[in-house]
Structure 1
Amino acid sequence: MNIFRHRPLGLLAPVLLIAVAGCSTADDSGTVAVPRPDAKTATVCRDLHRVLPEKLDGRGRDDPEPRSAYTAGWGSPAIILRCGVARPPKMVDPEVAEGRDADAIAGGVDGVDWLMEKESDGTWRFTTASRVAYVQVSLPEGMSGQDGTPVLTELAGVVKKAIPKGIASMR
C-alpha cells in the first residue's frame, strides 16, 4: 500500500487545520538537536550535507550549533534541515493513508515524497518518505505550510541525488 499520494502541497496547505504535539526545532536559539543515525544512514546524510545549497528560499546558509553533518540551517529565524531523524509516528498512521487525518498529510514535490505536519506551536515540519534516510525540514515561526513548497522544491534535487529511494531504518 502506497500511503504517499502525490498531491501538490501548495494546494493542500491552506485547507490544513493541524495540531500535532511536539516541539519545533526551528527556533531563534541557534541550537538544534542533532540526530544520531545508524552507520548506513549516517553515510547518506553526510552525502546530503555535502550537496546542500548555500542559499535556500533566498536565505543564506547559517548552520545551527552544535555543528554537524546531520544538520543545516538557512536564515534567521532559520529553516532547519535534520538528516537521520526517527520515523514520525504519523508516517505509519492508516488514517493518513486514507486522507482522513487532519494532523498530517502526505504529498510529493518534484519527485520527493513528504509528510507535512503542523506543530503545536504553529510551525511546520516536513519529513521525507520512501527514502533510505528520513530528512526533516522545519520552517520557522511565521512561515506557513504553503511557504514550504518553494523550500521543498529547492531541496528536491539534492535529496534525490544524495538519499536513494528505499525504506529507512525502522528506529
Structure 2
Amino acid sequence: MKRLLRPVLVAGVALVAAACGDGAVQVPVPQPDTATQRLCEGLRLPEKVHGQQRRDTSPKSPLTAAWGSPAIALRCGVPRPAALQPASALVTINGIDWFGYPVDRPVTFTAVARQAYVEVTVPPKYNPAGDVLIELGPSIKATIPEKPEGQI
C-alpha cells in the first residue's frame, strides 16, 4: 500500500456540513456527463459506514451521500482532481486506487482509475480514514468499472 503525504490545494470544492445534529448535510452536487451520471446513479451504498447511520443530503441527489456527524460525505461524478498527475502517490485499498488530499483535515480521497471519479471526505473523528474507504470500496468496485490500465 502506498501512502500519500503531498500537500495539494483543493480548488472550488467545499463540503458544508451541519456542525452537529441529524439534519440534512449540505453536499455540493457534481455535474457529470450523462454516461458518468448513469454509472453514479447505479451506486448502491451501505446504510452504515464506520458505524455511522446514513443521513439525508441537501440538495437531494443520487450523486451524493453522507453518514454520521460530522459527516462522512461521498460525491460521485466529480471532475478529475486538478492535482492528480501520472506520478501522484496513490493508496490502493482492496483493488481501488485512492488519491488523498490535502494533508490537513478533513482529508478528501478520490477513487481514480475508474470510469467515474468518486470523492469521499473523511473528518478526523473517523481515523483511520482507510477504514471508511474499505467499507465503501465494494460498492464502488461493483458499480464503477475500471479505466483501461495505466489511465488514472
TM range (shorter): 0.7 to 0.9
**For residues 57 and 121 of structure 2, what CA distance do their matches in structure 1 show?**
13
How far did 1:21 drift?
4.2
Q: Structure 1 residue 32 and structure 2 residue 27: aligned? A: yes
SS, match of residue 92 in structure 2: strand
1:162 paired with 2:151, answer no
Q: Which residue of 2 aligns with 1:72?
A: 65
DSSP-derived class of the 1:91 partner: coil
| Residue pair 1:107, 1:114 contacting (<8 A) in 2 also | yes
- AA matched with 1:20: L
Identify the residue that residue 114 of structure 2 maps to in structure 1. 131
- Give deviations 1:124-156, integer Å, cap 9, x for gaps: 00001110000000012x337x52100000111
Specify the alignment match of 1:148 in structure 2.
129
> After the TM superposition, which residues 5-154 of structure 1 pair with which residues of structure 2 at under 5 Å, given as runs?
7=1, 12=3, 16=5, 18=7, 20-22=9-11, 24-25=14-15, 27-28=17-18, 30-48=25-43, 51-92=44-85, 94=87, 96=88, 105-118=89-102, 122-140=105-123, 142-143=124-125, 146-154=127-135
Partners of 2:8 and 2:83 within 8 A in 1: no
Q: CA distance change for structure 1 residues 73 and 60 in 2, over 3 Å: closer, same or farther?
A: same
CA distance in 2, matches of 1:149, 1:26: 22
1:101 counterpart residue number: none
Amino acid in structure 1 at the alignment position of 2:41: R
Conserved? CA contact 1:117–1:124, under 8 Å: yes
Compared with structure 1, are the counterparts of its residues 133 and 54 closer, same or farther at alpha carbon in structure 2 (3 Å cutoff)? Answer: same
Give the root-mean-square deviation of aligned CA atoms: 2.2
Deviation at 1:107, TM superposition (A): 1.4
> Partners in 2 of 1:86 and 1:119 — Cα distance?
20
Sequence identity (%):
36
Gaps of 5+ in 1: 1-6, 97-104
TM-score of the pair, normalised by structure 2: 0.83
> Unaligned stretches of 5+ in structure 2?
20-24
Measured after TM superposition, the shift of residue 17 of structure 1 is 6.2
Structure of greater relative contact order (alpha carbons < 8 Å, 6+ residues apart): 1
> What is the rounded CA distance, in whole Å, between the counterparts of 2:10 and 2:82 in structure 1?
11
* TM-score, length basis structure 1: 0.74
Runs of 4+ in 1 over 6 A off after TM superposition: none
Which structure has the highest helix share of the two? 1
* Counterpart residue identity of residue 53, structure 1: P
Higher strand share: 2
